[in-house]
A and B are shown apart, each in its own frame.
Chain A
Amino acid sequence: MWLVFQKEIKELLRDRKTLFFMVALPLLLFPLIFGGVAYFSGKAIEKAQSRVLTYAIIGGEYAPTLTTKITESEGLKRYVTKVQSDNVSAITNLVKSEKVDFVLVIPNTFNDDILKIGQNKLTLYLNDAGLNMVQRRLNKIIDNLAESNRDKAFISLGIAEEIQQGLLEPIVIDKISTADKREDLGEKIGGLIPYMIFILCLQGAMLPATDIGAGEKERGTLETLLISPISRNQLVLGKFFTIAFAGVTSAMVTVGSLFVWGVLLSQGMAIELITEFMGAISALDFVLMFAMLIPVVAIFSAVLLSMSIYAKSFKEAQGYMTPLVFIVIIPIILAMLPGIKLEGIYAWVPLMNVALAIKELIKGTMDYMALIPIFLSTTAIAGLLLTFCIYWFNREKVLFR
């Protein structure tokens, strides 16, 4: 068995294409994704913030203070128009034709004295699809005026400062979470980690699995291998372990690279957060997470090997394997949904229960006893699938299709 394993690994290591997808890609991909997303989103936000916005004010004469404030603020350029406030289509056209970025309509009832008019309602026309900072930038100016108007009203009413606070916010809730940082962060990203690891394991195992099964058929080496004096069980196990090993290695490389690059690129504060978060997870929890993954990888490997050996060619094998990814994704995505816990029926859905258990382990809220039935049931499924795989390898119909 180890003979087969050794040879398959040797061959795998010499396959540049597979190695590239298993090792190089995750190593390089993550910094690219992280860096790229951070760079471009930062650029876009910066651009939206510093871009000079063209605007039009209709009814500016009713609110001279506000109009002056807007005119005086930086990064805004006025466009003079004669359109009236009741001509909505003309206003819309101004924005649509990109003559202006926004139009602010001030009603003729506008008054700085709140006590006389109550609430003032302005209308803002803009194209709100896509990233723009119009409202945020406008709010900065308007809030300023609104606050000073409000303060004036409070003063003229003669209301004390503490009462002012009470009037604005009669009841304030002070929230103190009993969940520590680990549980909080674990709930937020804990679902993502099993998802990533599962998919990576599956992806990493797929290429070698195709090569080891369908590839042998396609290259005409299978027949010779079958008539060499090695029992089918040994042959299957050798190939099975190769696939499992490749899957785990690929997942570990990717997760490791994600972690290292994540720490490197997010620097400063995030480092503290991540190290604190990782530090809170005990070694036992890490070992348990890894242990839970073993039967999962075994399930993947057995299924992939069975598919691969059934297929007549690489192409056919890939055809069988692609839907597998979708099937695997469903229970894991369900496990990622907020509010789904390791309880009731979910504890018995294969893969989903493991994903949930890993999430709980990350959060630090796992009931260790509950791991036993999950581990045992998943191992039993893996065992069944491996038995099937061996049976499958003994079928002439499968080998000589």
Chain B
Amino acid sequence: MIEIKQLAKKFKVENPKKLSEQEKKDPRLKGRFFHSVQNVNFICDTGQVLGLLGPNGAGKTTTLRMLSSALKPDSGSILIDGVDVLANPIVARQKIGFLSGSTGLYGRLSGRENIEYFGKLHGMSKSAIQQKIEELAQLLDLYSFLDRRCENYSTGMKQRVSIARAVVHSPKVVVLDEPTTGLDIMATQTVLEFIRTLKKQQIPVIFSTHHLDEVNELCDTVTVIDEGETKYNGDLHSFRALSNGSLHNSFMTSIEKG
């Protein structure tokens, strides 16, 4: 289970002149600081898939980066299976599998070596890594290209190896930051299939997306963030009920209400 409470993060503005017009108008800009995330809360239970929605610049990536311990929040708490990520970042990192749409691979290493490297960084034994790679290769159909250099992979191949790499250490939670952005339909399908597999294994998944059809297809609960604050928390059913039209309307309603 993942529990996020009153998460907040501000960034220092180095050069206010460089900000875009939109950023200058943003109410989160206070003096020399841009309060990117101000108050984000959500809970994701075992076996649940949580869809994180919000317009561009709402603070989704910052939130997920804090969750994955790449960024340190200014205040608030993050608990993963009861472990405080802020107090034990290294322990927490072992419990998280993280993947974003822009994740890359080391081009001069083969897919297998990429996965092995992260397995080793997670302190896994050689045999355990081999076993896990076998398992993942079957699940994600990696066999045909696993031992070729990544620089020649297609987008879909890259994404499949990235997925394998993200879960090589059997994480307790999987966090996906816009995992389907920029992918073609086939590659997107691979990612969605993978999320379903995780769900079957009772592993909680948190993923941010702009595609409401993905939310409709996969999510149990929905969290909407806008201007760094949680505007909506609830299950998919009640999210749909926010307006009697499409999920798009529900999304708009949730932002306007908040």
Contacts and interface: CB of A to CB of B under 8 A. Distances in A.
A230 B90 CA distance: 7
Chain B, interface size category, equals 20 to 34
The residue in A11, A227, A399 that gathers the most chain B C-beta atoms within 10 A of its C-beta is: A227
A220 interface: yes
A224 B98 contact: yes
B122 A227 contact: no
B65 A400 contact: yes
B241 interface: no
Contacts of B11: 397
B105 A229 contact: no
A11 B109 contact: yes
Which of B11, B113, B117 has the largest count of A CB atoms less than 10 A from its CB?
A: B117
A228 B92 CA distance: 10
Nearest to B92: A229
B117 A219 contact: no
A350 B72 CA distance: 37
A229 B90 contact: yes
Contacts, number: 69
Given A219-B107, A221-B105, A221-B106, A227 B121 contact: no
Given A224-B103, A227-B93, A227-B96, A396 B109 contact: no
A46 interface: no
B152 to A, nearest CB: 13
A7 interface: yes
A320 B100 CA distance: 29
B123 interface: yes
Interface residues of A, number: 23
A121 interface: no
Contacts of B117: 3, 7
Interface in A204-246: 219-221, 223-231
Contact of A396 (B71, B100, B121): B71
28 contacts: A3-B121, A4-B121, A7-B106, A7-B109, A11-B108, A14-B149, A15-B108, A219-B105, A219-B106, A220-B102, A220-B104, A221-B106, A224-B103, A224-B166, A227-B68, A227-B69, A227-B70, A227-B93, A228-B93, A228-B121, A229-B94, A229-B122, A396-B72, A397-B14, A399-B70, A400-B65, A400-B70, A400-B71
Interface of B: 11-12, 14, 65, 68-72, 90-91, 93-94, 96, 98, 100, 102-109, 113, 117-118, 120-123, 149, 165-166
